[in-house]
Chain A
């Protein structure tokens, strides 16, 4: 079991492509950390650097307090589950799982014991003697994991291991993987582009975008206190609404306004904004489910016109115009509206977010500030 520490790590391909820029990240012993982000954000490059399959261009990488920049993959005591599982098609499941051990020429009886142990945990007993080429997606994935775990390494790396499975199998496997990790207790780094997966499985999530780490935190941290516009947009489904506005301090209150609405944040709400921010352009953010539909005339109610109404069983989705801005509202299925209807929204009371317009960084205080 081991910690993984990145100190100002860069990955540069050729001389120009900066896939990972100045990454600083500490992964604790036994932790399940997910590297989350869209394609090309640098998460796979980061994972491969831990594996030793990619060279580290700049900076230092420590595994278990040992500098591993120049250590061969085979010497790092790291195991990896590849996106397509990397099974040897002509060999049986047994031989695939035993493959890593065959190198060290261990006694066949010892190998057998270890294989059967893993097979029990991963429910491979029934397919142990099938050829890998004839297995289905879910089975292959389990074999891939078995092969990775058999050497009892210090760190387990997973590169989008469930993205090629059917949706329902994916949901089931998510839970099983999380359980397995807790059972084995191995430090795990899990790459995915699916935020639902990351939020469901990981202890902490590291969100990356164009090579830069955007935020590291628990699912709650990312969801309720996104550090910047990118994280706020990426995490959460349906995505957060963003309205460009101006922020003006008025004594102990704050005025947030744009074409079509003018809101005053009372003292307690105004206190949520960091004192360092004096005023100026901001992005106002509110999640579709945090928008409340009100009767008219409420203070701070914003007038909206329905553009599209999508009824649903669990909730309905309304596309509405506030002034010249389009937002999405998620409401209870009891509410029924139609195109052209005018209604009133409270976009502040439940939960709102504010970001500096230029830097896109959150200007909301974190929980403990």
Chain B
């Protein structure tokens, strides 16, 4: 009898928590759900006074986006986004990893230097917008994918460095000392011991860098014009002087969500570990 009562109380609590979670999820994902629905709605029905949930879906927006050239060159925008994002992520990790190792194990240039690196990422990116825009204009980096990559690395590298550094610091130094005594070199210690142990950090950092770069709008807007425009800026083109072409925006957004959604879904396990690292000291 007592067991049964305890069971009942437990499930009652779970029920409350589940409800709260469901509501929270609905609130945060509602804009996305709405946009996806809009992308399948015929234009006529989109601006209807009463929001419509039931209608006959259409693929006209997708068709227009993918097939019709003209202003919106979908494939160019998508590939630009993809190239810039992947390049940023890869370079960020390649640059950040040895830096993180050097900061963690050798305290290179001191604690103040490490903290300064962190503060770069703490600042709102918009602060650097004008100086970067002017510098890029002078050095001919505007409207080039490489320019965008460099701009994104400015924020991604400090972030990646800091996260990876924290992970490395959590690894006991004796592991490396033991390897030194076995005759391993510094580089081998980094690759054979530290890297396998920091896998989840690197994946988490990669995912976050990917999402940041993929979604970035402001710099893409200012620095890229025609040739290196990304999906984010491209989709904004549908806000025209003649009206907002919600259907096209919806389709562009829906397609744009797919890569990040996929990556986030596949790597969610690493995300949890990566973001909560350091929160609890073991």
Q: Which residues of A does B touch, CB under 8 Å? A: 51-53, 72-75, 78-80, 82-84, 86-90, 99-100, 103-104, 147, 151
Hey, what's the 0/1 contact readout for B162-190 against A, CB within 8 Å counting as 1?
00000000001011011111111000100
Cβ < 8 Å to A, chain B residues 72-120: none
**CB of B45 within 8 Å of the partner chain:** no
Point out which of B177, B178, B188, B193 has the most chain A C-beta atoms below 10 A from its C-beta: B178
Evaluate contact between B183 and A74: CB separation under 8 angstroms: yes
**CB of B239 within 8 Å of the partner chain:** no
Specify which of B180, B182, B184, B196 is in contact with A151 (CB 8 Å cutoff): B182
* Neighbouring B residues of A86 by C-beta, 8 Å: 172, 174-175, 177-178
* Neighbouring B residues of A104 by C-beta, 8 Å: 183
* Neighbouring A residues of B184 by C-beta, 8 Å: 74, 103
A53 to B173 alpha-carbon distance, docked (Å): 12
Evaluate contact between B178 and A74: CB separation under 8 angstroms: no
Evaluate contact between B182 and A103: CB separation under 8 angstroms: yes
Evaluate contact between B174 and A84: CB separation under 8 angstroms: yes
Known: A73-B181, A74-B183, A86-B178. 12 other contacts (CB 8 A): A52-B181, A53-B181, A72-B183, A74-B182, A78-B181, A80-B181, A82-B178, A86-B172, A86-B175, A103-B183, A103-B184, A151-B182
Q: From residue B203, how far is it (CB to closest CB) to chain A in Å?
A: 15
A75 to B174 alpha-carbon distance, docked (Å): 18
Q: List 17 A-B contacts (CB under 8 A).
A: A52-B181, A72-B183, A74-B180, A75-B183, A78-B181, A79-B181, A80-B178, A82-B178, A83-B174, A87-B175, A88-B175, A89-B197, A90-B197, A99-B179, A100-B183, A103-B183, A104-B183
A307 to B38 alpha-carbon distance, docked (Å): 90
A53 to B188 alpha-carbon distance, docked (Å): 17
Q: Which residues of B does A touch, CB under 8 Å? A: 172, 174-175, 177-184, 188, 193, 196-197
Specify which of A51, A84, A88 is in contact with B193 (CB 8 Å cutoff): A88
A25 to B211 alpha-carbon distance, docked (Å): 60
Q: From residue B52, how far is it (CB to closest CB) to chain A in Å?
A: 54
* Neighbouring B residues of A83 by C-beta, 8 Å: 174
A21 to B184 alpha-carbon distance, docked (Å): 31
A50 to B182 alpha-carbon distance, docked (Å): 14
A104 to B177 alpha-carbon distance, docked (Å): 18
Evaluate contact between A99 and B180: CB separation under 8 angstroms: no
Which of chain B's residues has its CB closest to A144's CB? B178
A87 to B174 alpha-carbon distance, docked (Å): 9
A90 to B172 alpha-carbon distance, docked (Å): 14
Evaluate contact between B181 and A147: CB separation under 8 angstroms: no
* Neighbouring B residues of A100 by C-beta, 8 Å: 182-183
Point out which of A74, A75, A79 has the most chain B C-beta atoms below 10 A from its C-beta: A74
* Neighbouring A residues of B179 by C-beta, 8 Å: 99
Which of chain A's residues has its CB closest to B180's CB? A73
Q: From residue A15, how far is it (CB to closest CB) to chain B in Å?
A: 17
* Neighbouring B residues of A87 by C-beta, 8 Å: 175
Q: From residue A134, how far is it (CB to closest CB) to chain B in Å?
A: 15
Q: From residue A98, how far is it (CB to closest CB) to chain B in Å?
A: 11
Evaluate contact between B180 and A53: CB separation under 8 angstroms: yes
* Neighbouring B residues of A84 by C-beta, 8 Å: 172, 174
A86 to B188 alpha-carbon distance, docked (Å): 17
A99 to B181 alpha-carbon distance, docked (Å): 12
* Neighbouring A residues of B178 by C-beta, 8 Å: 80, 82, 86, 147
Q: From residue A101, how far is it (CB to closest CB) to chain B in Å?
A: 9
* Neighbouring A residues of B193 by C-beta, 8 Å: 88
* Neighbouring A residues of B177 by C-beta, 8 Å: 51, 53, 73, 80, 82, 86
* Neighbouring A residues of B188 by C-beta, 8 Å: 103
Which of chain B's residues has its CB closest to A91's CB? B196
Point out which of A78, A86, A147 has the most chain B C-beta atoms below 10 A from its C-beta: A86
Q: From residue A103, how far is it (CB to closest CB) to chain B in Å?
A: 5
* Neighbouring A residues of B182 by C-beta, 8 Å: 74, 99-100, 103, 151
* Neighbouring A residues of B197 by C-beta, 8 Å: 88-90
A79 to B180 alpha-carbon distance, docked (Å): 10
Which of chain A's residues has its CB closest to B172's CB? A84
Which of chain B's residues has its CB closest to A82's CB? B174
* Neighbouring B residues of A103 by C-beta, 8 Å: 182-184, 188
Evaluate contact between A51 and B181: CB separation under 8 angstroms: yes
A72 to B183 alpha-carbon distance, docked (Å): 8
